[in-house]
Amino acid sequence: MSEKEYLATRAGYGKGLVELGALHDDMVVLEGDLGHATGSLAFQKEYPERYYEMGIAEQNLVGMASGMALSGLVPFVSSFAIFTAGRACEIVRNAVAYNHANVKLVGSHCGVTPAADGGTHMCIEDIAWMKAIPEMVVLNPCDYNQVRLLVKKMYEYPGPVYMRTSREPVAIITSMDDDIEIGKAQILKDGTDLVIASTGIMTTFALEVVEQLEKEGHSVALLNYHTIKPLDEETLLTYAKKCGKVLTIEEHNIHGGFAESCARALIGKGDFKFDSIAVFDEFGETGSRATLFPKYGLDNETIYQHAKGLLK
């Protein structure tokens, strides 16, 4: 693509729902009074009879979805991540995962990019919460196209799945023709000097840094982890052995996040240099990405400096 197009991953969720709805009559969508923000309203406009507005009652929202799933439907549940993964966490655990209910959960406005919604609504804990629930699959797609593809993969997967989406428009760096698989990392760039393992929208910024490093003569591999659980440990270990240096990137708290999963996968497997970029145990706050990413160490310059530090 010669000129990059910028769209939010939450918009990809709405588009993916509409595309999926045309194929499967057993698919329903439940929303917690935030359909315009999460993107699910696109489905309501096309299939109003299969769209359930549950209001600001996220625990009931998830509980209803569990009952629908156990009755043979395939419910997609969406709200802000702080509510689907946070407020309803116990219901997700006991009504969904414990019962092996085929519920698809989506947490929008994750990370520190919800702008004016403020620190209370910026969810930097959802990966840790959902990752800790047995049998829960955790997805974190990097762009608009990948969300559309993963919505279909979520439907096909026979069990509970959680996917995070973002408010922030980011460059579309993947294609609808990509062959992606839940539990398998996507190799966006091959390289031998350093491997960057990134998840979510941070991958779009990591790609910009990799391209900059390539111009400087470095060979940098970029792995896009759209699936955090189950983690593709094999690909990570292969590139860690190949490059000897690993940098992980995520828009999530360092505690319980993607970096911890990667470190656990590599520990005792070889002599690697390892570094990570994440939110270091701070709440978010109101502000634009241009303001907040440098504050939390998620900006391109910080990624570049961490990569250069490893390359030395």
The pLDDT tens digits of the residues spanning 57-75 come to 999 999 999 999 999 999 9
Note whether 61 and 79 are within 8 A (CB): yes
pLDDT of residue 76: 98
Q: How far apart are CA 149 and CA 157, in angstroms?
A: 13
pLDDT of residue 8: 97
Residue 115 has pLDDT above 90, yes or no: no
Catalytic option among 31, 58, 250, 260: 58
pLDDT of residue 159: 98
pLDDT digits (tens, 9 = 90+) for 156-177: 999 999 999 999 999 999 999 9
The question of whether 58 is a catalytic residue gets the answer yes
Residue for token digits 């760039």?
Answer: 189
**Delimiting residues of CATH 3.40.50.970 domain(s) in the chain:** 6-171
Q: What percentage of the chain has pLDDT greater than the value 70?
A: 99
Q: What is the mean pLDDT of the chain?
A: 97
CB atoms within 10 A of CB 23: 9
CB atoms within 10 A of CB 135: 11
Q: Which of 110, 78, 142 is nearest to 253 (CA)?
A: 110
Q: How far apart are CA 193 and CA 219, in angstroms?
A: 5
**Delimiting residues of CATH 3.40.50.920 domain(s) in the chain:** 186-311
User: Does CATH place domain 186-311 in 3.40.1410.10?
Assistant: no
Q: How far apart are CA 207 and CA 189, in angstroms?
A: 8
Residue 1 has pLDDT above 50, yes or no: no
Q: Which of 204, 143, 152, 207 is nearest to 181 (CA)?
A: 152
Burial of 137 (0-12, 13-18, 19+ CB in 10 A): buried
Note whether 27 and 73 are within 8 A (CB): yes
Determine if residue 286 is left, alpha or beta; phi over 0 gives left, psi from -120 to 50 gives alpha, anything else beta. beta
Cα–Cα distances (Å) from 198 to 114, 119, 155, 220, in that order, read: 20, 23, 24, 13
Instruction: Give exposure, 272-302, as e/b (b: 16+ Cβ within 10 Å).
Output: beebbbbbeeeebeebebeebbeebbbbeeb
pLDDT of residue 3: 80
Q: How far apart are CA 115 and CA 291, in angstroms?
A: 10
Q: Which of 115, 265, 118, 96 is nearest to 197 (CA)?
A: 265
Segment 79-103 shows an average pLDDT of: 98
At 125, list the tokens. 């804990």
CB atoms within 10 A of CB 226: 28
pLDDT digits (tens, 9 = 90+) for 209-264: 999 999 999 999 999 999 999 999 999 999 999 999 999 999 999 999 999 999 99
CATH architecture of the domain 6-171 equals: 3-Layer(aba) Sandwich (3.40)
Q: Which of 213, 192, 220, 197 is nearest to 276 (CA)?
A: 197
| Alpha carbon 144 to chain centroid, angstroms | 11
Predicted confidence band at 96 (pLDDT cuts at 50, 70, 90)?
Answer: very high
Note whether 101 and 66 are within 8 A (CB): yes
| Alpha carbon 160 to chain centroid, angstroms | 15
At 300, list the tokens. 């391109």
pLDDT of residue 153: 98
